[in-house]
């Protein structure tokens, strides 16, 4: 226990590779000028740091994750029969039921002995997914896990809502983790505060309000009951209250290693929030990855996408000690310290509705 944060150590787990995919269609923020006005839009661009986003047409999060997984499996020459665990993390699943992971098992031609399940999380989803996959691998109950993390938040954003219309992009990711007794420990910190659930929510469409009767977040001409609602001020306050403590706890857990953190990769919420956190926590700016300009906030896929975009500029392998931290919707937060040793990073896949169109 460090302060109010419980350190959960995952042992015997190594990250083997990471791949990401985005849809081909690019939506420029400037296309919203008529809707919001040039002055308002310039303020939005200045604070968020977002210039454009990749957004889907008819694709689902699972389609983007399949593209990323196929690329990663091919690049690493992985025998699919050796993948014994499949985890799909998303807030934008294919169906109410069945679990999208079950469908992905068949689409990816994974063995029937593979365990497959969904996790419904957003901004903290990647780091939570690493913890769940790592925990299953740690004791040897699983030998190789495929973690698929992605969201298509553009499908639930009202184009008339100034608080979110220019912010969110779509992406999917694939990460392969393996049981490895020689791997260094991965300390994790996570937490939950459900009191903040109402501040980032789609109130209708689930079984609490299936038919859109809720008026809690609706605003005529701005958003309806099936659209994403975000209380930006409350989300910002939550971030300032929780993330510095999370980072401090991980720093204290890291002290015993005698190693420095090489890079910090946080959920890519927006530029203003990340730059404010960096100043508040007195982190070296050159060690903090910030990559929202061309992809926006991609929810649970933002951390692997930031890793991918960061590494694609330098080469195909990722090495060093990384602090990863996701935080937001729920409220939910999770962070870890991961030692990456020649982790393969595939070129970013850009997909059409049904096939890969190219690379970035």
d(CA 155, CA 227): 9
DSSP tally for the chain: helices H, then strands E: 8, 16
- Give the pLDDT band of residue 316 (cuts 50, 70, 90): confident
Q: How confident is the model at residue 256, as a pLDDT?
A: 77
pLDDT of 187 strictly over 90: yes
Strands 263-266 and 317-328: parallel
DSSP, residue by residue, 306-331: HHHHHHHTT-SEEEEEEEEEEEETTT
- Under a CB-based contact definition with an 8 Å cutoff, are residues 133 and 87 in contact? yes
Q: How confident is the model at residue 313, as a pLDDT?
A: 64
Query: Taking residues 175-194, what's their average pLDDT?
Result: 96
Model confidence, pTM: 0.95
pLDDT of 356 strictly over 50: no
pLDDT in tens, 100-156: 999 999 999 999 999 999 999 999 999 999 999 999 999 999 999 999 999 999 999
DSSP strands (E only) in the chain:
8-10, 13-23, 26-28, 52-54, 85-89, 115-119, 144-151, 171-179, 186-192, 200-201, 229-230, 263-266, 317-328, 332-345, 349-351, 356-359
pLDDT in tens, 323-343: 999 999 999 999 999 999 999
Residue with structure tokens 């190693």? 259
Q: How confident is the model at residue 311, as a pLDDT?
A: 79
Instruction: Kindly state the percentage of the chain with pLDDT values over 70.
Output: 96
Element at 240 (helix H, strand E): helix 232-254
d(CA 326, CA 125): 7
Task: Tell me which residue of 66, 105, 110, 90 sits closest to 355, measured CA to CA.
Answer: 66
Mention every residue, 6+ apart, whose C-beta is less than 8 A from residue 34.
none
- Under a CB-based contact definition with an 8 Å cutoff, are residues 353 and 152 in contact? no
pLDDT in tens, 215-227: 999 999 999 999 9
Class of 8-359 in CATH: alpha beta
The residues spanned by each domain of the chain are: 8-359
């Amino acid at each position: 226990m460090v302060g109010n944060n419980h350190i959960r150590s995952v042992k015997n787990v190594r990250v083997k590779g990471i791949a990401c995919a985005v849809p081909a269609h690019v939506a420029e923020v400037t296309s919203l000028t008529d809707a919001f006005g040039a002055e308002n839009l310039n303020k939005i661009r200045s604070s968020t740091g977002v210039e454009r986003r990749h957004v889907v047409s008819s694709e689902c999060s699972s389609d983007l994750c399949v593209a990323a997984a196929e690329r990663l499996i091919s690049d690493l020459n992985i025998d699919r029969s050796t993948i014994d665990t499949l985890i799909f993390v998303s807030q934008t699943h294919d169906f109410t039921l069945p679990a999208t992971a079950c469908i992905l098992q068949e689409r990816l031609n994974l063995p029937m002995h593979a365990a497959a399940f969904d996790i419904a999380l957003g901004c903290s989803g990647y780091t939570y997914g690493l913890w769940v996959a790592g925990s299953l691998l740690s004791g040897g109950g699983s030998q190789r896990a495929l973690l698929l993390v992605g969201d298509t938040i553009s499908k639930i954003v009202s184009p008339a809502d100034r608080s979110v219309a220019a912010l969110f992009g779509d992406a999917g990711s694939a990460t392969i983790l393996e049981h490895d007794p020689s791997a260094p420990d991965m300390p994790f910190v996570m937490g939950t505060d459900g009191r903040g659930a109402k501040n980032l929510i789609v109130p209708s469409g689930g079984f609490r309000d299936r038919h859109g009767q809720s008026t809690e977040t609706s605003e005529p001409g701005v958003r309806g009951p099936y659209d994403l609602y975000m209380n930006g001020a409350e989300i910002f306050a939550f971030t300032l209250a929780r993330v510095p403590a999370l980072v401090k706890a991980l720093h204290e857990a890291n002290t015993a290693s005698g190693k420095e953190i090489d890079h910090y990769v946080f959920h890519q919420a927006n530029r203003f929030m990340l730059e404010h956190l960096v100043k508040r926590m007195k982190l070296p700016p050159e060690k903090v990855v910030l990559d929202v300009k061309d992809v926006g906030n991609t929810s649970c896929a933002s951390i692997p996408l930031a890793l991918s975009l960061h590494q694609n500029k330098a080469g195909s392998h990722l090495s060093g000690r990384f602090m990863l931290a996701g935080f937001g919707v729920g409220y939910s937060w999770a962070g870890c310290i991961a030692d990456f040793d020649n982790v393969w990073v595939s070129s970013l896949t850009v997909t059409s509705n049904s096939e890969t169109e190219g690379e970035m």
